[in-house]
Every structure is written in C-alpha cells, then in structure tokens.
Structure 1
Amino acid sequence: MRMSVAIDASCDLPQAFLQEHGIAVMPIAVRVDNALFKDDRNPAEIRRFLDLKLGSRSHSAETEPCSVEDVQRLFLEKLVLEQDCVFCLTITATRSPINEHVIKASFAILKHYREVREKAGVPGPFLMRVVDTRSLFAGSAPAVVEAVRLIQADEQPAAIRERLTYVANNSYGYMLPRDLYYLRARAKKKGDRSVGLFSAVLGSALDIKPLLRGYRGETGPVGKVRGFEHGAETLFGYVAQRVRAGLLVPAVCVSYGGDLSELPGLPGYAGLREACEATGVRLLEAPMSITGMVNVGEGAVTVGFAAEEHAVEF
C-alpha cells in the first residue's frame, strides 16, 4: 500500500525533510498591505517575506487557510492517484479552521475518488485519515516525524492512526516571542485577548518575555524570563533536560522566525544540540512559516517534542 503524509503550511519542518519523504503541503495565503505570499514552506517565498522587512505592519496581515475546495482539488487531482492512503496532519483545531476544512473536504474526496482512480486506471480503494496535532508550529512536527517512521516500517493504517493520536496528545510546542507589542497587536487583530495591553507594556518596559506552550489544543504562558537571550538559554536548556529524560519520538524540531544561520548563535542552543547527539535524537531546524511569523512576530523561536505527560519546570 502506498502511503504518505500531507500537512498544512504552518507545521514547521525543514524543506529537505518534506521533499525526502514526499510530504504534500496545503498552502496558506497571506496578504500584508499590497504584498501577497503563498505560504507553502517554499524557502524562496519565506526569504522574500523576510527581505521585504515588513516589520510591525505584518500584525495586520490577512491569512486564508487552504479552503475546502482547495483541499479537494489537491487530493482528487493528485494525491488519490499517487497514493492509497494519506494521513493529513494539521495545526490544532482550536487555533485554525484548516482542520475543519480538511474534514469537510474528506467527505467529497472519499465520495468521488473511485471514479477518478478508475478513469486513470488506478485500482483499489483510497483511505484518508485526518489527525489534529493539537499543537502548532514546531509543536506539530513530532507527529509528522512519527508518521513518516511508521509508514517506512510498513505499519497498517489503523495502527498508524492510533499511534499518531497518542503522539499528538503528548506533543509539546514551546514558543519564545521577541516583541510583546507585536504579539499583542496581532492578538487584538484576531480578537484574541490572551495578551493584554498592560502585560505587553509592562513586559516590554522590563524586557520580560513569556514562555508560551501549545499542548492538547490549549495555548498560554507557562513561565517568564528577563530578556530574549536569557529566554532562549532557559528554553533550550529545558528542552535538553527533556531530551535526556526520554522522548516518545526521537526528534526535536526548532523553528526560527528569521535567518536560520542565527539559530546556532543563540545561548543554550549548543547544549541542546549536544544533548540530542548524545541520546540519538534528531535535531531538525526549520524556518518558521510565514503564517507563524505574521501571528507571533519575526525573530520568535518555537520548539517541539513529544514526551510523556510531565509538569512544567521553568
């Protein structure tokens, strides 16, 4: 059985990893002023976004996730002909309508795939399974990495889906923003009251940064640090501890809302890399999606891993 994975563009994974494993990307349209971007994890498009230096104007960006019709076209014109089973992994349904769009599209896809395959001379049934990663940005990555591993191991679709649901329920996505004013402005634009004006002003005045976590569909602060550099050191040090304690999926994904060449220079990153090397954990580095950057601001860091449930230790 030919099996593959599809993700939405806000799932932060390296382009090389996506290409190596034939992972399809459901794009997100992003408009900032008069500039239009197709967020499909294309490094050139991400570079174009960064080079335009849109800065604080990005908080007013309009984003449009892949529509129900777009998902149907992707599957009926391509994926149902190339695969026999596709696992669709999306950002948490509590933060984006993309999961709902994919589920709605699946009804038409499963209704019409047979005639499409018969016309092309492709025999047999087609399966489509939708999995909510219950996290966002780099936090969605562990479930995708595990899906690839299970497919390579020739596991059955039912077993893969069960395991991915378990991994998604135990995936942690941490984020360290650079600019609280930006984060507050974007939250206000989207009607999200999670970052209040007083907190943004006080945090910026004292250079206090929140450490945010996405876990089981919920996002919110779990700690705070003084200064971005110290925050990076704290976050990477914490993840290194979790790596040594043992992960459910032997991979950690780090995404950065800027030039990836700056990532190794952040305090604490070398220690995280050493912990991964010592334990045989794969460290995946990815640029943050354009969607991610317009939602949390350029220069932010996100880290994702899957582990058994544990208390936050910041």
Structure 2
Amino acid sequence: MTVRIVTDSSADLPADLVQQHGITVLPCYVVVDDRTFKDGLEIQPDDFYRRLQADGGFPTTAQPTVADFQEVYRDLSGKGDQVLSIHVSGKLSGTLNSAGQAKESLDGAEIELIDSQLASIPLGLAVLDAAIMASEGGSLQEVAEKVRQRLHMHHGLFALDTLEYLHKGGRIGKARAFMGSVLHVKPILRLQDGEAHPVERPRNRERAMRRLVELASELAPVLRLAVVHSTDPNRMATLKQDLTGLLPADQIIEARFGATLGTYIGPDALGVAITQEPR
C-alpha cells in the first residue's frame, strides 16, 4: 500500500512541489466581499490582496468541511492507499476537527491525523518532509511516527507590517503582548506551541529583515529553507539572497501567503521557514 499525504491550503506549498510529490491539498474557505471562495482554486493571492487593501471590510476564513475530507479520504482509500493527513495547528483552526469527524465516519479506511502545530510554509515544509519519507517506504504508522518525531525541527519566523489583521482575525495568541505598542514597529513573530509568539519589535522593515536573517541563522545547520511573502516579491528576493549563507539560492523554496494566511498576516509581510538538520 502507498502512503498518501494530505494537507490543507494554509500550508502555502508551491504548486510545483505539490505536484512533484503527489500531495493532496484541501482548500480552506475565505469569505471576501460577502462571497465564499476556495483558497487557491477560486481566489488567487493577487486578487485576494487587491480586495483586502481596497475593501473596508475584513475577510474571514473557514476550515474544509467534513464532506470535503470524506470525499478525499474515500477517493484515496478506494485506490488502496493509506492516508497521512497533516494540518494547520489546532490552536489556529478547526481543520483537524473536520478531518477527525471524516475519519470516524469511514469504516475500514487507514488514516492517520497529525496536528503539525504549524501554519503556512513551515507546515508546508513538514508536509514536504512527510512526502519524502513516505516515498522511501514504510507503513503508515511508521511514517506517521517519524513525522511526529521531527515536528520540532520545523520553524517559522514572520515579520509583519502590522498586527491589525492578526488581531481582527482573533488569531493573535501570545503576540497580544505587542498590542498597545505597535505603532511604527514591524513585529517579528515565531510559531511556537501551535500559535504566534512575540519575538521583538524592530522599528523599520530593513531592521526586521536583518533580524529575520539573524534569527534564522541561529537555527543552523539547515536541511530545508523557504522564504514567503504576501505582496512584495522583491523584498522576498532580497531576503532569499541574504539567507544564502545557510543554503544555496537554488535550494531555497519561494512561497506566498495564500488567502487563508493572508487574512491574518496582511500585506507587506515576510517570513522564513526552516527544517533543521537532524542532530
């Protein structure tokens, strides 16, 4: 039996990697301008950020439905595959609840669920790690256990232009400590224990980018590395170049915050995701 990897669109994995590794991505839902879209299928980042910056309202998100998961799980199980389903942190989304209900409703399907405790491209790197391990063979339980043992090796650092979107979206978590002092600062957040934790408050974008590079360097040696942006690919390219001391440029993955994460990250955000070398 083949172990197939399933995740959700909050992983922000580039389409070429999804296709290359046979990963199944369930779209989350984004409500913008009173219309509901499937992230990555019915609304693309350019359109989403244009709406976000032009509209006075605030978008909302919803996890894939139980029916969405049932359809995917039935399809894969019907082909004789086993399913390893790895998703956005349960502290940030109800996606795992939908996945769990779908699993319980399908008798005989071999499905393992994992709460990554991550989001965006750090989740994407964990999913990519899982897909590579699955391709090397082993039972569903063996691959799932390896993935769980390696979750602590995946890290995410994000430099936001504002905490406004994270606050409005109710996902601010431990970063609430920065509220009240967010004027003229570009907060850096770290994914830790499944939610956003404050790191520091640089005074401008240039300092924030330098600190991203310094903080990422503290996590060396690096197995995989990704950079991600919401609306500024040129700054992401600069960030990527500044990180080539950790990995060659042609090995650094470029990603973009999709509509799901963009709802909370907002415009002009940058991020770094790292998978550390096993020690």
TM over 0.5: yes
Between the aligned partners of 1:168 and 1:58, the Cα distance in structure 2 is 38
Residue in structure 1 matching 2:210, options 224, 233, 244: 233
Runs of 4+ in 1 over 6 A off after TM superposition: none
The one-letter code matched in structure 2 to 1:254 is V
CA positional deviation for 1:185? 3.1
The one-letter code matched in structure 2 to 1:140 is L
Structure 1, unpaired ranges of 5+: 114-125, 310-314
Q: What residue number does 1:119 align with? A: none
Which runs of structure 2 are paired with 1:158-169 in the superposition (5 Å)? 158-169=141-152
Structure 1 or 2, whichever has the larger Rg, is 1
Q: What residue number does 1:215 align with? A: 192
| 1:176–1:212 Cα contact (<8 Å) kept | yes
| 1:30–1:64 Cα contact (<8 Å) kept | yes
Q: Percent identity at matched positions?
A: 22
Which runs of structure 2 are paired with 1:110-125 in the superposition (5 Å)? 111=107
Q: What residue number does 1:120 align with? A: none
Q: What residue number does 1:179 align with? A: 162
Q: What residue number does 1:270 align with? A: 241
Q: Structure 1 residues 56 and 241, CA, compared in 2 at 3 Å: closer, same or farther? A: farther
Larger proportion of helix: 1
| 2:112–2:144 Cα contact (<8 Å) kept | yes
Question: Is 1:246 matched up with 2:225?
Answer: no
Which runs of structure 2 are paired with 1:18-167 in the superposition (5 Å)? 18-39=18-39, 41-42=40-41, 45-50=44-49, 52-55=50-53, 57=55, 60-76=58-74, 78-109=75-106, 111=107, 126-167=109-150
Query: What number of residue pairs does the alignment pair up?
Result: 279
Q: What residue number does 1:288 align with? A: 257
1:208 aligned counterpart, secondary structure = coil
Between the aligned partners of 1:57 and 1:169, the Cα distance in structure 2 is 38
The one-letter code matched in structure 2 to 1:7 is T
Between the aligned partners of 1:36 and 1:21, the Cα distance in structure 2 is 29
The CA deviation string for residues 157-181 of structure 1, in whole angstroms up to 9 with x for no partner, is 2221111001223322211111233
CA RMSD of aligned residues (A): 2.8
Between the aligned partners of 2:194 and 2:173, the Cα distance in structure 1 is 17
CA positional deviation for 1:36? 3.2
Between the aligned partners of 1:303 and 1:20, the Cα distance in structure 2 is 22
Between the aligned partners of 2:113 and 2:138, the Cα distance in structure 1 is 17
